[in-house]
Amino acid sequence: MRFTFRTQSFANQYCSSLNYSILTCAEIMKVIRAKSAGFCWGVERAIQVARAEAKGGLRKVYTDGPLIHNNQMMEALSSEDINEVGDYHSKDKLALEKSESKESVVVVRAHGISPQRRDYLKSLGMPFRDGTCPDVGIIAGKVKVHADKGFDIVIFGDPEHPEVIGLLGYAMGKGHVVKNLEDIENLPTFKGGVAMVSQSTMFTHEFQELSNRLAEDYKDLLIFDTICGATKERQSDLVSLVKEGAEVIVVIGGKHSANTRKLAKLAAQQGRPTFHIETVNDLDLDSLRKFQTVGVTAGASTPEFIIREVCSKLETLEPLIK
């Protein structure tokens, strides 16, 4: 049986009369969704490129590693004969079978690749399309231009992330990846010019801290804040969820997605319980019912249908009120 009350105080009185030690009567959970939750434009573009090349399944598309970091979306794309091959870091050689019934094409992932990898993919003898996020392409351009001028390049990011691996390829052996202050301290002494960029999905405040520290040693340090606008907006919107009253945060996205993991970390830093899930099936409903207002955000590679499923499920919950 389900009860609806005009006021919470009346609900509390009613439940108390039934001698409940923990009240089970409450209004439906309030769900606040971040405005920026879901696909960024770079991810949308990569998907559009792959779908355009697939032509509704008339052509077979191979993506060098996951096109985007979302398993559910990659599975959905497979129905259009868009196939992930290779490895997460885009390092392995590919054994591609050309289809006898339709043309095959290779599409570059949204995270980009090194120029060496690009040459390799083009050598496979198949049509080649680039799905690299334009924001990542801008970073690669800055790295290449300054490496050509003899600069050492310091990249703030995860050395195992495919975007950073690709950027290092443009640094021509003069690239150095740092994640924290300790890495800054362990850098070699540079004799010439130094330029610093960031992986597109990092924290702005951490980039500022590290670039300020490096500038103490190199007064002429060139600093390029290459954290993309979508990442900054996503992080800002998450903080706004807390200001709007979210007692708990649900972050939706791939467990291997760098920007989604960053969102989950940022949510925890706001002093709110945080649940990082991939699909609605991962929701811990018993734990979430302890709260009345939940904030929902999602990584840049999370498709809209997953976000809607999660929000719809949360909106049906009746919170437990003590």
**Cα–Cα distance, 237 to 257 (Å, whole number):** 18
Alpha-carbon 104 to chain mean position: 29
Q: Which distant-in-sequence residues (6+ apart) come within 8 Å of 65 by Cβ?
A: 84, 85, 86, 87, 88, 89, 90, 109, 111, 162
What percent of the chain is helix, strand and coil (3-state, nearest 5)?
40, 15, 45
Positive or negative: CA dihedral 231, 49, 159, 176? negative
DSSP conformation class of 65: S
Q: Which of 163, 206, 209, 304 is catalytic?
A: 163
Nearest CA-CA partner of 179 in 276, 299, 262: 262
Backbone angles phi, psi at 214, to 5 degrees: -65, -30
How far does CA 230 lie from the centroid of its chain?
10
Q: How far apart (Å, rounded) are the C-alpha atoms in residues 228 and 262?
A: 14
DSSP state of 51: H
Respond yes or no: is residue 163 known to be catalytic.
yes
d(CA 194, CA 147): 9
Catalytic residues: 163
